[in-house]
Amino acid sequence: MVINFSLFCQVVLGASFLLSFLVNQNWQSALGGSIVAFISGFLGLMAVGRQQMSGQRKMITVLEGKIYHLQDVEQHMEESLNLLAHQHRQVENHTKFLQTELSKLQSNISGQKNYKDQLNTDLLNLDKYNRQLEEETQQWQTRILQLEKQRVNLDMVINSLCDRKKQFESEVEVLEEDVDVLNEFKLQLEAQLTNLEDKIRELETPLAAIAPAQKPKVTLRNPQLPTEWQEFASRLTNIELEILRAIADQNNPNALLKKIAQSEITMPELLIDGINELALATINDLIIQPGSNPPLIAETEYIQNLRQLFAAKISSF
């Protein structure tokens, strides 16, 4: 009960003063009576108020207990709510996972089904191929039998040919002996021929003496360079020709070799070696004597050929 204290004071004081004044017609006793009324009213209000307050306090404590209880309950509820939410999430994840698994398995299954179909078709193809191969094997076997027969025939033919070959060989031996005999006869005839030629010459000299010598002298034509030397000449470079000329003329070949070696960035032995390699390949012999210092032509007869070679090279320019 909310009390408006100023209103209470006013009313109690006023009412008591009036009443007392009415009764007593004495303003001092009226005032005193109003003050006593005021104080007793105040004390009564205080007692009531205290009683109310204790009652309210009790209610407060009860209500506070209930509040704590409800707060506990609220906490439990919150916890269980969280738990449930968590479990819900878990279950959701699990469901998702299971769904993906499911879709994978389904695709796997469809893959396996395709593979199985493929294998079935392969199996059918292999069956066909196997049958084909069996047919082919049979064909090849018949062919092998045919060839075996042919081989046997050919063996017989070879045997007969061997016999004939032996016959021929013996004939050849006989003929060789004949050839030997004929060779001897040929030698004899050649001897006879030389005899006859001698006789002819003997007879010719008197004839030549009779007819005055008006026969023109047969001049030997310069024999042409043999083919292997021509090949050698054609494959020589100008530098190699120069070197050979210097060596053939013994015209200070070492100095020339060094000069050429420096200008061609090589060494003198290699120049000689190159020429000799070419000579081996064409005229089947070395042209510069290895190890000679100063370098010399290997054979004196080669110098003749070289002179011809140089002349031919000059005329070809």
The CA distance from 141 to 276, in Å, is 64
Which residues neighbour 294 within 8 Å (Cβ) at sequence distance 6 or greater? Answer: 247, 250, 252, 253, 254
264 neighbors 281 (Cβ within 8 angstroms): no
278 neighbors 236 (Cβ within 8 angstroms): yes
Among 31, 298, 303, 312, binds another protein (CB under 8 A): 298
Read off φ and ψ for residue 288, nearest 5 degrees: -105, 130
Taking the complex as a whole, the smallest distance from the CB of residue 225 to another protein amounts, in Å, to 15
Q: Is 267 in the site for another protein (CB under 8 A)?
A: yes
The CA distance from 9 to 48, in Å, is 17
Taking the complex as a whole, the smallest distance from the CB of residue 257 to another protein amounts, in Å, to 11
Nearer residue to another protein within complex by CB, 54 or 183? 183
Single out the segment in contact with another protein by CB under 8 A; choices: 36-44, 124-132, 161-169, 270-278: 270-278
Nearer residue to another protein within complex by CB, 180 or 198? 180
Q: Which of residues 163-192 bind another protein (CB under 8 A)?
A: 180, 183, 187
The CA distance from 26 to 160, in Å, is 189
Among 262, 294, 304, 307, binds another protein (CB under 8 A): 262
Q: Closest Cα partner for 213 from 200, 204, 222, 202?
A: 204
Nearer residue to another protein within complex by CB, 55 or 290? 290
Among 206, 216, 223, 291, binds another protein (CB under 8 A): 291
Assign 297 to helix, strand or coil.
Answer: strand
DSSP 4-66: -HHHHHHHHHHHHHHHHHHHH--HHHHHHHHHHHHHHHHHHHHHHHHHHHHHHHHHHHHHHHH
> Which long-range contacts link 75-81 to residues 24+ away (Cβ below 8 Å)?
none
Nearer residue to another protein within complex by CB, 284 or 316? 284
Q: Which amino acid is at 166?
A: K
Among 30, 248, 256, 286, binds another protein (CB under 8 A): 286
Taking the complex as a whole, the smallest distance from the CB of residue 280 to another protein amounts, in Å, to 7
Among 94, 199, 258, 307, binds another protein (CB under 8 A): 258
Single out the segment in contact with another protein by CB under 8 A; choices: 4-12, 47-55, 229-237, 271-279: 271-279
The CA distance from 97 to 302, in Å, is 102
Nearer residue to another protein within complex by CB, 64 or 299? 299
Q: Which of residues 52-91 bind another protein (CB under 8 A)?
A: none
Taking the complex as a whole, the smallest distance from the CB of residue 227 to another protein amounts, in Å, to 11
Single out the segment in contact with another protein by CB under 8 A; choices: 1-9, 128-136, 231-239, 274-282: 274-282
Residues of this chain that interact with another protein (CB under 8 A) are: 180, 183, 187, 258, 262-263, 265-270, 273, 276-277, 280, 284-286, 290-291, 298-299
